[in-house]
Amino acid sequence: MHLTGNLLIGQQSIYGGNGTIKAIDASNGKAIEPAFGGATLDNLDVACALAWAAFDEFRETPLEARAKFLEAIAQNIVDLGDVLIERCMTESGLPRARLEGERGRTVGQLRMFAEVVRNGDFIGARIDPAQPERRPMPRVDLRLRHIGVGPVAVFGASNFPLAFSVAGGDTASALAAGCPVIVKAHSAHPGTAELVGRAVQKAVKDCGLPEGTFSLLFDSGREIGQGLIKDSRIKAAGFTGSRGGGTALMKIAAARTEPIPVYAEMSSINPVLLFPHALKSRGQAIAKAFVQSLVLGAGQFCTNPGLVLALDGPDLDLFIEAASAALKETSAQTMLTPGIQNAYEDAVEKAAGHPQVTTAARGRDREGANQAQSALFVTTADAFRENHELQEEIFGASSLVVRCRDLDEMRELIEALEGQLTSSLHLDVADYDDVRSFMPALERRTGRLLVNGFGTGVEVGHAMVHGGPFPSTADGRSTSVGSLAINRFLRPVSYQDLPEALLPEALKTGNPLGLNRRIDGKLQLAD
The footprint of its own copies on residues 319-378 (CB under 8 A) is: none
Restricting to residues 476-505, name those near its own copies by CB under 8 A: 476-479, 483-484, 490-499, 501-502
Q: Closest by alpha carbon to 309, among 392, 417, 413, 442?
A: 413
| Distance in angstroms (rounded) separating the CA atoms of residues 169 and 268 | 19
Determine if the peptide bond prior to 136 is cis (ω within 30°).
yes
| Distance in angstroms (rounded) separating the CA atoms of residues 154 and 161 | 13
Q: How many CA atoms lie within 13 A of 119 on its CB side?
A: 15
Given the complex with its own copies, which of 314 and 499 has the nearer CB atom?
499
Min separation Cβ 79 and its own copies, Å: 22
The reply to whether 430 sits near its own copies by the rule CB under 8 A is no
Q: Which of 241, 261, 276, 305 binds its own copies (CB under 8 A)?
A: 261
Min separation Cβ 417 and its own copies, Å: 12
Given the complex with its own copies, which of 199 and 442 has the nearer CB atom?
442
The reply to whether 420 sits near its own copies by the rule CB under 8 A is no
Binding flags for its own copies, 186-225, as an x/- string (CB under 8 A): ----------------------------------------
Q: Which of 452, 509, 512, 514 binds its own copies (CB under 8 A)?
A: 452
Q: How many helices (H) and strands (E) does the chain have?
A: 14, 23
The reply to whether 393 sits near its own copies by the rule CB under 8 A is no
Min separation Cβ 54 and its own copies, Å: 12
| Distance in angstroms (rounded) separating the CA atoms of residues 145 and 163 | 29
Determine if the peptide bond prior to 499 is cis (ω within 30°).
no
Which residues face 32 on adjacent strands? Answer: 23
Q: At what angle do helices 63-79 and 190-206 cross, to 10 degrees?
A: 140
3-state secondary structure 426-486: ECCHHHHHHHHHHHHHHHHHEEEEEECCCCCCCCCCCCCCCCCCCCCECCCCCCCCCHHHH
The reply to whether 435 sits near its own copies by the rule CB under 8 A is yes
Restricting to residues 85-144, name those near its own copies by CB under 8 A: 115-116, 119, 121, 126-128, 137, 139-140, 142-144
Torsion of CA 321, 322, 326, 329, to 10 degrees: 40
Min separation Cβ 199 and its own copies, Å: 24
Min separation Cβ 292 and its own copies, Å: 13
Given the complex with its own copies, which of 60 and 223 has the nearer CB atom?
60
The reply to whether 276 sits near its own copies by the rule CB under 8 A is no
Min separation Cβ 266 and its own copies, Å: 12
Restricting to residues 137-156, name those near its own copies by CB under 8 A: 137, 139-140, 142-144, 147, 149-150
- Residue positions annotated with a catalytic role: 265, 302
Given the complex with its own copies, which of 261 and 306 has the nearer CB atom?
261
The amino acid present at 4, given as its one-letter code, is T
Total number of residues that touch its own copies (CB under 8 A): 82
Determine if the peptide bond prior to 471 is cis (ω within 30°).
yes
Given the complex with its own copies, which of 350 and 444 has the nearer CB atom?
444
The reply to whether 391 sits near its own copies by the rule CB under 8 A is no
Which residues face 48 on adjacent strands? Answer: none
Torsion of CA 316, 317, 318, 322, to 10 degrees: 100
Give 42's contacts (C-beta < 8 A, 6+ positions apart): none
The reply to whether 49 sits near its own copies by the rule CB under 8 A is no
Residues constituting the chain: 527
- Vertex 121, ends 139 and 150: CA angle to 5°? 90
Determine if the peptide bond prior to 34 is cis (ω within 30°).
yes
Strand bridging mode 181-184 / 214-217? parallel
The reply to whether 72 sits near its own copies by the rule CB under 8 A is no
- Vertex 271, ends 451 and 269: CA angle to 5°? 130
Give 503's contacts (C-beta < 8 A, 6+ positions apart): 143, 495
Task: Mark the segment that binds its own copies (CB under 8 A) among 13-21, 85-93, 287-295, 432-440.
Answer: 432-440
- Vertex 347, ends 302 and 340: CA angle to 5°? 55
Which segments within 266-397 are labelled E, that is strand? Answer: 271-274, 307-311, 333-334, 358-362, 371-372, 375-380
Min separation Cβ 386 and its own copies, Å: 18
Task: Mark the segment that binds its own copies (CB under 8 A) among 66-74, 208-216, 369-377, 441-449.
Answer: 441-449
Min separation Cβ 133 and its own copies, Å: 15
Task: Mark the segment that binds its own copies (CB under 8 A) among 66-74, 341-349, 356-364, 464-472.
Answer: 464-472
Given the complex with its own copies, which of 142 and 369 has the nearer CB atom?
142
Min separation Cβ 477 and its own copies, Å: 5
| Cβ-based neighbour number of residue 443 at 10 Å | 11
Given the complex with its own copies, which of 73 and 465 has the nearer CB atom?
465
Min separation Cβ 286 and its own copies, Å: 14
The amino acid present at 321, given as its one-letter code, is E
The reply to whether 457 sits near its own copies by the rule CB under 8 A is yes
| Distance in angstroms (rounded) separating the CA atoms of residues 185 and 464 | 26
Given the complex with its own copies, which of 144 and 326 has the nearer CB atom?
144
